[in-house]
Structure 1
Amino acid sequence: IKGFYLAVATLASQFFIVWLFNKVPWFFNYSATGQISVPPRQIFGFLVTGPDASPAITYLFTLTIVAIFALLAKNMARGNVGRSWMAIRDMDIAAEIIGIRPLKTKLIAFAVSSFYIGIAGALLFAVWLGSAEPTEAFGIDQSFLILFMIIIGGLGSILGSFLGAAFMVLMPIFLKNFMVDGLGVQPALSEHVQIMLMGALIIFFLIVEPHGLARLWQIAKEKLKIWPFPY
């Protein structure tokens, strides 16, 4: 199992994690209500967490972290580790023949991806939410949302991760402004249209263009380079 099917298979662990969060008090800091809150923390004299943190400061802090880790991921993908990942992804048997160890390469991929998603979860909880119940903040819906971002943005693409996230965030806003505010449609109907559109896009990208928006953006750039003279 590899690729998209591996991502779907690992979602089964989500149910175990939710059960673990409910049964082990250490995960919610032994709170009687099961809710944990982030204490105020400062970096270089600026408050980045807590109810008194400035939205501009938290945004710049998050943007800095995202930019640093995006550059690290891009450089990693261009190095030996990234090339090993691509070789295993394309054809693991051929990669093993040329000397790449599949077990080690896959373990590194799982470790790096888990580290990245751990940082993202920490930012989501500490900077964005501030306080939440672990089972609600990191439920199965959140996992599916991240999976849909990757599918629509493009599998195996750093740019696709940003495009997919932007699409998943901006599409509900666009539909609300267009259908509810513009056409006067009921909000409930707008939400149903959003779900239908999301399902249709996932089917389209899985069948027609597995590389998602990143590939479409690459094709558009190639077309614009020779426009308006196709020769």
Structure 2
Amino acid sequence: MISSTLSLKDNCKLIVAWCMVKLGKLTYDDFSQQELQSLVESSFPYTFTFEIPIGTGTVNVLEGRVTLDNVTNRIGLQCLASLNIVVASNTIYRAHVIFALSTTPNYDRETKTVFLNQLRTDAITLVNDDYALIKDTHYLLSRFFPRSVNSLLSGSLKSALSLFTAGTSDMAADYLKLYLSGSKQAILDYHKPQIDAAIRKQISEDKLCHQLSKDQWREVLFAKHGESVRVEENVLRFYLA
């Protein structure tokens, strides 16, 4: 049980571990929450966009923290992100949000690959802090039409927006009416489906899987004797046979 891709020191560790497996002294290997955390650290920060009726929505994911749920056998990732909505080069909404994702670990013995299945967005929560900003519809109209704002505001919102949105006034008016309430939560709730879809698209492109490496002795051992993987006792446990 010697690997040509490992150093002499790691080969010695591999041989000892292999003997312990054969003797029934080693039945599993644990990856701690901190070890898993170190694997995702390099992924942050990163940015993705989502569609809105007018303008652009951007999420900048600042940091992420790995969580483990023994009861449901789920690996989670809790992320802090900044959410920004820009219309005609004007930031009309910004907020810090926390979104929580989770997946179920699964091991395929044939391909020697660990998969993270059943991706789910568990929550998207608003953080009320000094970063938060919201502009109302009157601000938008006055910004876009500074000279004729009084006459525009005296008419219907839809009529005013028809000049700005060029044929998409129904959609734009319905969207910008959200800002009349001044509720940051209402706007976030409206965008949750788009943010969820954008997260899924972003992650599906990256493929949530890891083929066991030939350069890590623990992974070489599991590739040889691995049976399954699941969350147990606040660790990701790899069962050996």
**Pairwise TM-score range, normalised by the shorter structure:** under 0.3
Which structure has more strand as a fraction of its residues? Answer: 2
TM-score for the superposition, normalised by structure 2: 0.26
TM-score for the superposition, normalised by structure 1: 0.26
